[in-house]
Every structure is written in C-alpha cells, then in structure tokens.
Amino acid sequence: MKVYFCGSIRGGRDDVELYLRIVTKLKSFATVLTEHVSHRELGDARGDRFIHDRDLDWLRQSDVVVAEVTQPSLGVGYELGRAVDMKKKVFCLFRPTGRRLSAMIRGAEDGDSFVVRDYAEDDIEKILDEFFSNLKLPKM
C-alpha cells in the first residue's frame, strides 16, 4: 500500500515534529511517498514545476491520502482537491486547538472516502491504528 502524506511546508512548519510522528507511524502500515514533508531540513532546489509534477505523480500512485490539516496550507488544500478528483481515499487530521477548519475541508466529509477526524496530539498513533485497521480499499 502507498500513502501520500500531506502537511504544510510553505504554509508554516509549526507542526513538523508531529508530521514526523505521523510519518513514522504510517511507515508501519505502508510505503510513504512524501516522507520529505516530515523532514526538518528541506533542501529541494529543483524548482516549483518539478515539485508540483512529481507530487501529482505520487498522488496518482497512492492508495490513501493522509493529511494533517491543522496548519493551513494552500498546497495541502490543492492536493486534497486533486485527490478527491482522482477518487482517492482521504483521511484528514485536525487538532481543534483555537483554529477553525476550512469549510472546504470540513464540508467535504462524507464518512467514507473523505473523512475528517478531530484529535488530540497524544492520540495520534491510536487514531492511525484505528483508521488503518478499518480501511477497505477498492479492488483494482
């Protein structure tokens, strides 16, 4: 199974330590195509067109998209819109600690292919365990 993990980069890196925890946990279930999102140092000098095209290619290859959406990010919002269009299974994680999640993410919840889960940081591993143990992917 391949997972595309989304997290804020240019939107702000406040949650990078949490992204690392999420990616570490995701790697126990699947191949994570976008591990770099959790890296403290991002030295990608190959240009924005390269990043965009490479990431869309990974998105197409992925079976599941997991997004930490607490830190608002244009790139993450864009990835989620494209993922819906590609009919991917999407799991959004939001920490309700002061911010209000965009209606375009909260309002996309359908309880099946697009799930938004409010959570507390301490529970992240447990929540990912639950999600992956209940995950049913469409047959190819």
Query: Residues annotated in the binding site for substrate, as ranges?
Result: 4-10, 19, 79, 102-104
Interacting residue with ligand 5HU among 42, 86, 104, 120 (CB under 6 A):
42
* Under 8 Å between Cβ of 56 and 6: no
Cα 19 from Cα 27, distance rounded (Å): 12
| Residue ranges in 117-136 that form contacts with ligand 5HU under rule CB under 6 A | none
The string of DSSP letters for 77-109 reads HHHHHHHHHTT-EEEEEE--SS----HHHHTT-
Taking residues 9 to 38 in sequence order and writing x for each that binds ligand 5HU by CB under 6 A, - otherwise, the string is: xxx----------------------x--x-
Counting Cα atoms < 13 Å in the Cβ hemisphere of 57 gives 6
Nearer to ligand 5HU, 10 or 126 (CB): 10
**Count of chain residues binding ligand 5HU (CB under 6 A):** 17
Taking residues 74 to 113 in sequence order and writing x for each that binds ligand 5HU by CB under 6 A, - otherwise, the string is: xxx--x----------------------------------
CA distance to 18, 107, 125, 127, 140, per residue, from 86 (Å): 27, 18, 27, 25, 14
The one-letter amino acid code at 52 reads H
Q: Binding residues for ligand 5HU, per CB under 6 A?
A: 6-11, 34, 37, 42, 44, 51, 55, 73-76, 79
